[in-house]
Structures are given as structure tokens and as C-alpha cells.
Structure 1
Amino acid sequence: MTSRENAPEASARPGGDRVRTGAARLGHVFRTTRAPHQAAAFRIGLSLVIVAFLCREWPNRRVLYGDRSPLSYDMALELGRLDGTFSVLQWSGGRVWFEIVYFLTIASAFAVLVGWRTRTMSVILMVGVLSLENRNPLVGDGGDNVLRIMVIYLVFTRCAQVWSLDARRARTPLREGSPRADRTGVALWTATGLFLLVAFGWDTGWPLVLWTLWAAQGLWFAVGHRFPGSEARALLDAGASMLHNTAMLTIAAQVCLIYATSGWYKVQGSRWEQGSALHYALNLEYFAPWPWLSALLAGNAVLVLLLSYGTVMLQVAFPFTLVNRKVKSVLIAVMMLEHLGIAVLLGIPFFSLAMVACDAVFLPTGFLTAVGAGWKNLAGLARRRSGSAARSWA
């Protein structure tokens, strides 16, 4: 074959190499779990907000979601049927079942917070939060909507790879001769399977989603313990990483959508255009936990104008700043400070804290690792001091 005949093949080879290189990079992205520290920060923040919210409403829980709710059990059933919502509280209107669901939701939130059996506990947390919120959606606000959405996304993330008891257990080497069986995991999987069978049977809709998650967990456990180094295990790991990356991207897109729609709706309002919207909010008694502070801020027209216009500009510009890391980091810090200010000034802390937890998915990895290292150093110093104090006391 002549050199001319080889010329097309040679000229096509660089392009083919680029395609193969691009495909390899794309495959690496899908096979690798991206943003594990951001997912852990999101997990900790979201579960902490849920724990704080449920504990805060403990004295009022029965009026909000339980047997004393103004939305009676029959009315809740009809509303759930019309809206097509899911809630295990629709099974019974009694106090005992409600207390069990409320307590299990708090317990699962604590488990997710510390990263204990996160795959199972995140599903239980999702079921608990959706059940409580959908029992009486008429008392919810924007914070409840954020929790409802984000607790679903949390299930599909690998959010316990760092800063969790699961990660600590995975790093702990097995003792020689010790069994590889995870008795606690098997017990949880069996118990949840029996509960699904008794409670739902074989049904479509949300029961089918829960059965799918349960079966996937069982397959993951079986392959991981029987064939730890096999191609099947690698395939499952790659699938979990791809699902995690998709969920993290969805969370980021959801946050951008929240800010963008909020900002553009404000642009259409005459009060925000005039720069006086914040003034009216500060003079509402419902949004004034500190009346003297609200009056002090509302009395400064220039500051109210700047904050009103600044809020709109930040929310509209937020999605466009993600292309620049430095600008994004500065804007994330400003947005978090804004939410903390809203929590204090307007008295809606749980919505603000939920948004801060969602903003954590955009935090730089270097910052998060530095925070984790600092927390680890503080914990080690506290343990050393407590140990020395105990020895001196003895």
C-alpha cells in the first residue's frame, strides 16, 4: 500500500485519538464520585435543619401534623387523594402511630447527621419528612418545600464518604479471623423489607420506589461481600457514582432555579422596583421577632434601598456567576450571610438554614477540607484535655 493510500488513515488518527480521550475523560467523570465533601456538608446541614425544626415544633406537633390538627384525618385523606401525595400518616389518624412516625423521623435525622447507615436512614428520613409535611401542607412555607425536595435528592447521593461513621467503619481494617458479615446492615435490610411487605405489599407508585431502593441495597450488599473485587462490584460502584453525580447536579440546578425565579419575580414587582419591599416586610408584626431591630433598620431608607436592590441583583446574577470560581465563592458567602440575616430579622430561621445547607454544594473543596481538618484538630484537643483532666482527678 502506498503512502498516499495511508494518508487518509493517518490524518484521521488524531481526531480519533481526541474522541477516545474525550470519551475516557467522560467515563472517568461518571465513574468517579464528584464533590464528596460538598455532599457531606449538604447531608449534615439538611439533617441538622430537620432535627432543629422537629424538636422546635415538638410541643405543637400534634396540632400541626397529628391527631389534634385542624385539618382532620378525613380531610387530610381527601386532600392527599386530590393532590396525589404520599404519607404513611394516612394509614391511621391515631396518636400512637403519629408519635412513632415523628420519633422515627427525628431518630433517622440524627443518624443521617452523624452518617450512621446512611443509605438506609436517608430513605427512612425521606419517608418521615414527606409523611409529616404532606399530612398538613396548609401550614408549610418555602422552607418546607425546600426540605421536601432536597430530602428526596439526598437519597441518591453518596453523602457519607467523608465525615461520617460509615466512612470511619469503612476505613477500619478487619481483624484477622473476624467475620465479614455485617449483622447490623443485614438486620436493618431485613426489618425494612418486612415493613414494606406488611405496610405496602406489592403496589405501584411510592411503594415501587421504596421496593426498588430496598432491592438495590440488597444487591449492593450481596455483591460487595461475596465478590468484593469483581467486575460486577465495579459496575455497581460506577452506577452509584453516576447516580450521585446526577443528584448533585440536580441539587445545584434546583438551587439556581430557586434563586433565578425568586429574583425575576421580584423584578416584576413595583415594590422591589421602588426599593421599598423590605421596608414593608420589616413593618409586619408577623415578621418582626425583634421589633426594635426591625424598626432600626426600617428607619434607614438608604440602607433599605440598597438591601432591596442588592437582593434582586444577587438572586438574578447567581446562576451566571458559577462559571467563575472566585466570583462564585464570594457570592456564596454573601448569600449565606443574607440568609442568616433573614433568619434573624424576619424570624424564618428554618427556611434560611435550609437554603444555607443547599448553598453548601457550591462551597470550594479546599475550604471544606480546611474546616474538616480544623474540626478534627479541635476534637483531638478536647479529647486530650478531657483525658488529662480525668487522670489528674484520679
Structure 2
Amino acid sequence: MGNEQIPQLPPTAAAPHRPAGPETSLFGTAHRWLLDRISALWALLTDRPVSLYAASVLRIGYGLLYLIFLLREFPHRAEIWGPDSPWTPALAAQLFDQTGWNSFLILSDSRAYFELCYVLALVTSALFTLGWRTRIMAVLFAVVVTSFHARAIFMTDGGDNLVLLMSLYLVLTACGRRWSLDARRERLRAAGAGNPPGPVRSAYTQQLRDARITLTTVVHNCAMFVIAAQVCVLYGSAGLYKVQGPTWGGGTALHYALNLELFQPWPALSHLVAEYPMAIAIVGYVTVLLQVAFPFVLFGRLKYPVLTVLLGMHIGIAVLMGLPLFSGAMIVADAVFLPDRFYTFLPHLWRRATRRTRVRQPAPGRAAGPGSVPSQGRPDASTAPDPKRRAAPALQKGTALTTGLAPDQS
């Protein structure tokens, strides 16, 4: 046994490469898809600021809306926010201790202080709308809206709740880069400077500058996504809340709303609309359907007719129920879902319409009507009419005057 020869085994051959099984292939595909989605999301957040025109529309819309709101309530400012309000500063301070709110309007009971605050609120809203020093004005506008909202939280119609949220979100956006005085100043500065060589920066300074630009872009994009999500949550929750009620399910909710005296700015118009119960029921069902489906139609072209119907719905609420601030706030919020190419197309459409209007207008000197008066100066030798043609028919003279041409040129 011990002297037996042990046979030599052949060298082990390399195991042939076996193709990956379906589980491995599926895992690799899912892994690559996930990495691609993460890369695309990161590029979307960091490459460039999105919806700059929509952010500018939000700035202009909410700034102008709040400016009009303050001007409309100017005769009643003392009864709503001032020293004559039944909700006194002492009561407001007690509420602030419980809720954590605050307002600069209760810092003093002086009427002069309140009038100064009101004027500053008007100026802030106007400058924010125009886009002057937008970064600073956005913060001041948010402080103004928050202070006025907290001061009279029980004396508003609910539309300022959305304005309050949007004013806080707009602080984080680059809402002054389009359609603003800041953008105009930058264009003039760039046009005046031409293309001068940029200052030589160190590598550390350039990295800080790039990091600041990236951070600003990310914050702006995240704020715009939060604004869009806020609107989706608002519509979706409103639609789901309506579905739970028996009046909306029965199609009678709008009928009851039209017959409430508190929401009848024009009673005759409300009673006229209430005479068509079938149309009211259809509008109610369409409203609930659009609000529930709103978050799911934003990724296709179906969102454009949905936004159009919602625009008509908000206009109807403003007119029939007397809630212009709420309707205006919702209409401006819907603008965040329109792409930038839509807003860049508007100036071209305006110029095209203006050009067509100019073409339709008659040219100067060739549109003299039958009642126009011919020139009364003495003609010179070059333009003197031929004596042989002085006896032109009256019809020819009338035609010449009508077309604006001299008789010898007809």
C-alpha cells in the first residue's frame, strides 16, 4: 500500500464563464436604472435654476395682489389692523403667547406708528412687485405679510393663508432674475461693459463662487418644487374632503353656497345662476374630479385644459362668491405649472399682434378721409397743375382727395 504510485491528476482547467442568471441581470439593470435616476435628479437640482419665469410671475402676482388688498382696505385699516380694531393688541399678544406668532404692529399703540407701518407695507409690496433689490424685498415682504396676517388672523377670508405660505417660499427663490428692475439693471450693466476680461481669481475664490452658485440653484429649485407640491396637496386634499361630504356627492353643494347671504355680492346674479340646478350639479362634479385628479395630470399635456378649467372656476368664485383674494391667490399659484417656453412665447405673441395692428392701420398721408382738408399752400412750379386739366370732373377730384393724391398725380 505504501509503495503504490499515486496517479498524477491533470491540471485544473479554468472554469468556463457562465452567463449571469436572470436574477443577476435584473439586479444589474435595476441598479443602473436607479443610478441613472439619481444622476438625473442631481443634475436637475444643480445644473441650472428651473422655472425662472414662473418664479417671477409668482413674485409679480402675489406682490401686486397684496398691494391691491392693502389699498382696498385702506379706508378700514384702523378697524382691521390698527388701534380701533376690536381684536386689540392685548388680545393679539395673548394669542401670540399660545401660538408662537408675532407682529410688528403690536409693538406700539400709537396711531402714527401704525400709519407709518402701513405706508411701509405699501412701499414694500410695490418694490417687491417691481423686483427692486429682490433678495432684500422678498424678506421684507414675507415679514409684512406675516405681521398683518398674525395681527388680524380672525378677520380674513382665508385667501391670505396661501399668500402667507407663498411669501415664505419666495424668499428662497431667485424670483428677481426675470421681468424685474434687477434683471434690467444687469442687462444694462452687461451691455455697457461689453466683454471685458474677468478678474483673476484664485482657485479657492473660484471654488467658493461655484459653491455659492450651486447652493443658490439648489435652494431655488427645491423651493419651486415645494411650491408645486403645496399646490398639489391643496387641490388634492380639497377634492378628497369634498368627496366625503353628502352635499358634493349629491350635487347640491354649489346650490347651497349660492344661496348663502354671506357670499352674495350680487344677489340677483346668484339667484339667476341658482335657477339651473342641472348645470350647477355638473359644475360641482367636474370641480371635484379636477381637484382629485390634479396631481396626476401635471406630467402631460392634459394639464393645460385642466388649468384652463380651474381658471374659469376661480373666476366664478371671485365673481359669484365675492372672494377675489382667494381666487387671485389660486390663479397665481397655478402659474407655477406653466413652463418657461410658455412665458417666453408671450412677448413674441404680443409683438406679432402689435405688428398686425400696425399693418391694418392706414399709413400716414394715405388715409385722408372724404372730410379731410387739402393743403392750402401756394404750389410751386414743379407741382403746379396743368391748366389743361383744371376742368377735371368732380368725380375725379373727389376720388383724388379721397385717396390722398394730388389731381395731377392720379
Cα distance in 2 between the residues matched to 1:318 and 1:176: 47
Cα distance in 1 between the residues matched to 2:352 and 2:92: 50
Which has the bigger relative contact order, CA under 8 A and spacing at least 6?
Answer: 1
User: What's the secondary structure of 1:322's corresponding residue?
Assistant: coil
Aligned partner of 1:276 among 227, 230, 252: 252
Q: Pick closer, same or farther for the CA change 1:272–1:16 going to 2, 3 Å.
A: closer
User: What's the secondary structure of 1:86's corresponding residue?
Assistant: coil
1:342–1:352 CA contact under 8 A, matched in 2: yes
Deviation at 1:68, TM superposition (A): 0.7
- CA deviations 1:337-388 (Å, max 9, x no partner) are 1101110111101100001011110123332212244457789999xxxxx9
Cα distance in 2 between the residues matched to 1:290 and 1:300: 17
Q: TM-score, normalised by structure 2?
A: 0.73
Q: Does 1:58 align with 2:74?
A: yes
Deviation at 1:25, TM superposition (A): 3.5
Q: Pick closer, same or farther for the CA change 1:378–1:52 going to 2, 3 Å.
A: farther
Q: Does 1:356 align with 2:356?
A: no
Query: How many matched pairs?
Result: 333
Q: TM-score, normalised by structure 1?
A: 0.76
Cα distance in 2 between the residues matched to 1:265 and 1:102: 37
2:51–2:339 CA contact under 8 A, matched in 1: no
Deviation at 1:144, TM superposition (A): 1.5
Letter in structure 1 aligned against 2:283: L
Match of 1:341 in 2: 316
Match of 2:41 in 1: 26
Deviation at 1:16, TM superposition (A): 9.3
1:101–1:128 CA contact under 8 A, matched in 2: no
Letter in structure 1 aligned against 2:267: P
Match of 1:368 in 2: 343
Q: Pick closer, same or farther for the CA change 1:242–1:364 going to 2, 3 Å.
A: same
Match of 1:191 in 2: none
Alignment of 1:128-277 (within 5 A): 128-173=144-189, 175=192, 230-277=206-253
Q: Pick closer, same or farther for the CA change 1:15–1:96 going to 2, 3 Å.
A: same
- CA deviations 1:206-262 (Å, max 9, x no partner) are xxxxxxxxxxxxxxxxxxx99998221111111111111111111111111111111
1:332–1:363 CA contact under 8 A, matched in 2: no
Q: Does 1:311 align with 2:311?
A: no
2:157–2:323 CA contact under 8 A, matched in 1: no
Aligned partner of 2:61 among 23, 45, 51: 45
Deviation at 1:69, TM superposition (A): 0.5
Q: Calculate percent identity across the aligned residue pairs.
A: 39
2:45–2:222 CA contact under 8 A, matched in 1: no
1:39–1:248 CA contact under 8 A, matched in 2: yes
Q: Pick closer, same or farther for the CA change 1:303–1:16 going to 2, 3 Å.
A: closer
Letter in structure 1 aligned against 2:307: I
Q: More helix per residue: 1 or 2?
A: 1
Aligned partner of 2:301 among 326, 335, 352: 326
Two-structure CA RMSD over aligned residues (Å): 3.3
Cα distance in 2 between the residues matched to 1:75 and 1:247: 34
Q: Does 1:79 align with 2:95?
A: yes
Q: Pick closer, same or farther for the CA change 1:365–1:310 going to 2, 3 Å.
A: same
Deviation at 1:84, TM superposition (A): 0.8
- CA deviations 1:298-336 (Å, max 9, x no partner) are 01111111111111111111111113x211111111111
